[in-house]
Structure 1
Amino acid sequence: MKRIESVAVVLPAFNEEKDLPALLARIQETLTAQSFRYQVIVVDDGSKDRTAEIAGEAAGKMPLTLIQHEVNKGLGMGIQTGLSAAMKVADVVVVMDSDNTHDPIYVMDMVRRLETEDLQLVIASRYQPGSVIVGLSAFRKMLSLGCFLLMKTIVPFRNVRDYSTGFRAYDSALLKRMAQVYGEDKLVEESGFVCMLEVLLKLRSIGTKAGEIPYTLRYDLKEGVSKLRIWKTLKRYLAVVNRYRATRPEAANIVAQQVKA
């Protein structure tokens, strides 16, 4: 059993003044008393509202670092900045959405799985028994399920069902190995929502050991407007799958080991 002493929570944020305060309060309430040290890294991606100000105020009350992009670069670049910074300061990096749809209570389950099992990545999955989705339209649920079935068929990843969720816990050693293979500035290259699929397929290519936990996705708590553009995202999904589907995990893993050596 490995001991995890520190966890960095990465929050890529763009115009999240309505939802960020409640999420930060919940993170502080949930993680303060845990056995591991935690810190929050808010990546403000060129917001035009009070997102950066809210994060700055919270930094006086909890362990929080604010990183700002001068202009909006997209979700992918927000995650790229957050992963690059967080993997250097913590044993585990947790990425969450900043719109209050993810409950930090599940961070403890993720950390426990990483500590007690031979895993490098734990995903909060919508497709595990016991998972619940609250406040999402039937159309969006059907679309998500269709994407899951398609991904599972053409780019199977052992023990992974949810390819697009933004709620994940990464072993920092895994991210550093990924950086060796792809470059630290190319952990994430897609700018939009499809970046979550891109990261997962890159991790698949280097032989990552992954697991999932069930969770409740709370769209009913989200006050801000959704930034997802469905049909544009679907086109990018297909482009990313075509780029990585032919990548053999075993071959890429050999490359990763050579780089590591």
Structure 2
Amino acid sequence: MKRIASVAIVLPAFNEEKDLPALLARIKETLSGQDFRYEVIVVDDGSKDRTAEIAKEGAKDMPLTLIQHEANKGLGMGIQTGLSAAMKVADAVVVMDSDNTHDPIYVMEMVRELETKDVQLVIASRYQTGSVIVGLSAFRKGLSLGCFLLMKTLVPFNNVRDYSTGFRAYDSGLLKRMATVYGEDKLVEESGFVCMLEVLLKLRAIGAKATEIPYTLRYDLKAGVSKLRIWRTLKRYLIVVNRYRSKRPDAATAVAMTAKQAGA
């Protein structure tokens, strides 16, 4: 059994002053006293509100590091910055949305999955038995389901059903292997919401093993306005799928790719 002694929680944030305080409070209450050490990494992506100030206030009474982008670079670049920093300071990296729709109570189960199963990626999935979505319109639910069915057909990934959720736990060793293959500054190259699909397909291409857990997605707790641009995102989905669709090396090939990159 693997031992996860430390977990970094990455929170990419853009104008999240309404939701970030409640999320930080939930993280502190939930993760304090666990068997693993935790640290929060807030990546403020050029916010124009009090997001950075709230993170600085939070750092006074919880383990929190603030990284700031001077200008807004998009969700993908926020995750890029967070993953790059987090994989160097913890055994596992959990990425959560900063809008308080993800409950940190699931972090413990994600850590257990990484410790007890032969996987390097754990996804909090909307499409597992027992999952619940609260506060999302029927249109958005239908659109998400349609995207899932399309992705599962075009780019099947063993044990993965939710291709776009932002709530995931990564073994840091997997992220370091990904950095070796693609370059540490190119873990994430898409700037918008499709970055979550991009990361997943890159991991698929290097032979990552994944599992999913059910969870409750709480859109009803979100106070801020959604930043998703639906039709633009769908167009980028198809572009990214086309780019990575044929990249499916098996585990042995992935190891060879890593060794080749390391020796270069």
Say whether the fold is shared (TM-score over 0.5).
Answer: yes
Correspondences of 1:188-199 after superposition (within 5 Å) = 188-199=188-199
Which residue number corresponds to residue 201 of structure 2? Answer: 201
Structure 2's unaligned 5+ residue stretches are none
1:15 aligns with 2:7: no
1:134 aligns with 2:138: no
Residues 60-117 of structure 1 show CA distances to partners (whole Å, capped at 9, x for unaligned) of 0100000000000000000000000000000000000000000000000000000011
Residue 217 of structure 1 and its aligned partner are, at CA, apart by: 0.1
Residue 258 of structure 1 and its aligned partner are, at CA, apart by: 3.1
Alignment match of 1:254 (pick from 227, 241, 256):
256
1:96 aligns with 2:79: no
Distance 1:27 1:199 in 2: 24
Secondary structure of 2:188's partner?
coil
Moved segments of 4+, more than 2 Å: 248-254, 256-261
Which residue number corresponds to residue 165 of structure 2? Answer: 165
Correspondences of 1:1-261 after superposition (within 5 Å) = 1-250=1-250, 251-260=253-262
TM-score normalised over the length of structure 2 = 0.97
RMSD: 0.9
Distance 2:260 2:77 in 1: 28
Distance 2:258 2:155 in 1: 20
Secondary structure of 1:249's partner?
coil
Letter in 1 for 2:39: Q
Mapped contact 1:205–1:253 kept (Cα < 8 A):
no
Distance 1:189 1:55 in 2: 26
Mapped contact 1:177–1:260 kept (Cα < 8 A):
no
Letter in 2 for 1:235: K
Distance 1:253 1:173 in 2: 13
Letter in 2 for 1:28: K
Secondary structure of 2:27's partner?
helix
Distance 1:232 1:72 in 2: 18
Structure 1's unaligned 5+ residue stretches are none
Distance 1:112 1:248 in 2: 28
Residue 255 of structure 1 and its aligned partner are, at CA, apart by: 1.2
Distance 2:34 2:128 in 1: 25
Letter in 1 for 2:89: V
Residue 249 of structure 1 and its aligned partner are, at CA, apart by: 2.4
Residue 257 of structure 1 and its aligned partner are, at CA, apart by: 3.9
TM-score normalised over the length of structure 1 = 0.98
